């Protein structure tokens, strides 16, 4: 019998000048046994000093800190504690502020008003080497190294409501169809119906694409059922067959298939974390070996406090980019 080994705790430094806010963050994090708040500070200079002394895994950093603002503190921390992952947690989420903050080398930016839903995935993304940024009115896209294009597209969208999901899928699908590439969506019936209505408004040739077979819409529950063999997930044959069938309809000289879906998100929501990660790993392998781009979707509401950060980290690590909105 193989014993289970406990992973080392993720050590976190919290820097914010409001004590009530630090208590709120501490309360949120202590619900997870693998997250350990090792220090709380109230100004930028002390944040730098404690970062150098303690070398934490994660630093949650406000921007409006006394004595030394968070931006300058982050620059100094990058020099004295280069392995620490910095996540800004701020009330100011303007595009200019986000850009300046991330230019310090920070791994994430979370708006304080959405910290309850986004802090855990932000930590998971940062630990996986991905950038995570709150999306307010627009999406932010980041990859492993800022300014470097990912070698393949297997992206994940954490969405706050159906409108965000539909907008993300519609944009992804429309871009593929306009480039004469096939597009596949795997979603629930209600999302498929709403998406088709949205596409008819924004892409007038969608009905022609359906007739040509370049737009394929599949029910997520049926797809997941087809992937189950003797109670176990066996998706390789199903997904490979789907991609092969779609490639025959391509009209571009060098086609790429666009596949967006919420199957992994449904598995996650249903508590089937291992199956979701297994399917994500299959999708990642397909992106690397085939001409296919994949966008997965997870509802932010399904990220529960009791869910392990390590599981979230594995989800983020399987993707080339992380979105949140």
Domain ranges of the chain: 10-133, 154-324
pLDDT at residue number 60: 97
**Mean pLDDT on 190-218:** 91
Contact 174, 167 (CB under 8 A): no
Asked whether residue 168 carries a pLDDT value surpassing 70, the answer given is: yes
Most confident of 8-12, 39-43, 124-128, 155-159: 39-43
CATH superfamily, with its number, for domain 10-133: Response regulator (3.40.50.2300)
Length of the chain: 325
Lowest model confidence (mean pLDDT) among 4-18, 86-100, 300-314: 300-314
H or E element in which residue 317 lies? helix 309-317
Rounded Cα distance between 239 and 244, Å, is 9
Asked whether residue 59 carries a pLDDT value surpassing 90, the answer given is: yes
Rounded Cα distance between 225 and 237, Å, is 13
Neighbours of 52 (CB within 10 A): 14
Residue linked to tokens 């800004």: 88
Q: What letter would DSSP give residue 66? A: S
Kindly list the strands in the beta sheet with 257-261, ordered across the sheet, starting from the edge strand earlier in the chain. 215-219, 183-187, 257-261, 292-299, 154-159, 321-324
Domains 10-133 and 154-324 in one fold: yes
Q: Give the tokens for residue 28.
A: 């949120």
Rounded Cα distance between 52 and 60, Å, is 15
Total-model pTM = 0.74
Contact 98, 135 (CB under 8 A): no
pLDDT at residue number 151: 56
Asked whether residue 127 carries a pLDDT value surpassing 50, the answer given is: yes
pLDDT at residue number 231: 64
Rounded Cα distance between 228 and 212, Å, is 30
CATH of 154-324, one of 3.40.50.300, 3.30.70.600, 1.10.3720.10, 3.10.20.30: 3.40.50.300
- What residues have CB less than 8 Å from 250, skipping those under 6 apart? 180, 181, 182, 214, 257
* Residue 198, SS3 per DSSP: helix
Give the residue ranges of DSSP H helices in 159-306: 162-178, 189-202, 206-212, 220-227, 236-247, 263-269, 273-289
Rounded Cα distance between 132 and 142, Å, is 7
**Mean pLDDT on 35-56:** 96
Q: What is the band of 9 on the pLDDT scale with cuts at 50, 70, 90? A: confident
For residue range 68-111, list pLDDT tens digits in order.
Answer: 999 999 999 999 999 999 999 998 888 888 889 989 999 999 99
Higher per-residue confidence, 21 vs 243: 21
């Amino acid at each position: 019998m193989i014993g289970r080994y406990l992973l080392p705790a993720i050590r976190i430094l919290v820097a914010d000048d409001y004590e009530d806010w630090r208590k709120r963050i501490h309360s949120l994090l202590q619900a997870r046994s693998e997250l350990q708040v090792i220090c709380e500070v109230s100004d930028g200079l002390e944040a730098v000093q404690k970062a150098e002394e303690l070398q934490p895994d994660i630093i949650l950093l406000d921007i409006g800190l006394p004595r030394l603002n968070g931006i300058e503190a982050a620059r100094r921390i990058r020099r004295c504690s280069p392995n620490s992952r910095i996540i800004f947690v701020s009330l100011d989420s303007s595009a200019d502020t986000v850009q300046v903050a991330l230019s310090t080398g920070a791994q994430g930016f979370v708006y304080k008003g959405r910290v309850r839903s986004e802090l855990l995935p932000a930590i998971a993304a940062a630990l996986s080497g991905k950038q995570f940024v709150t999306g307010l009115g627009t999406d932010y896209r980041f990859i492993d190294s800022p300014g470097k294009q990912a070698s393949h597209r297997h992206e994940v969208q954490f969405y706050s409501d159906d409108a965000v999901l539909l907008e993300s899928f519609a944009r992804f699908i429309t871009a593929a169809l306009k480039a004469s590439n096939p597009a596949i969506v795997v979603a629930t019936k209600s999302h498929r119906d709403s998406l088709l209505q949205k596409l008819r408004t924004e892409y007038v040739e969608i009905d022609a694409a359906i007739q040509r077979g370049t737009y394929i819409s599949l029910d997520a529950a049926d797809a997941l059922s087809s992937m189950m063999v003797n109670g176990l997930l066996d998706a390789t044959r199903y997904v490979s067959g789907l991609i092969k069938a779609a490639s025959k309809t391509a009209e571009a000289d060098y086609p790429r298939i666009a596949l967006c879906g919420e199957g992994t998100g449904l598995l996650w929501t249903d508590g089937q974390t291992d199956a979701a990660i297994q399917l994500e790993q299959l999708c990642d392998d397909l992106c690397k070996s085939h001409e296919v781009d994949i966008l997965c979707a997870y509802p932010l509401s399904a990220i529960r406090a009791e869910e392990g950060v390590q599981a979230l980290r594995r989800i983020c690590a399987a993707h080339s980019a992380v979105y949140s909105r």
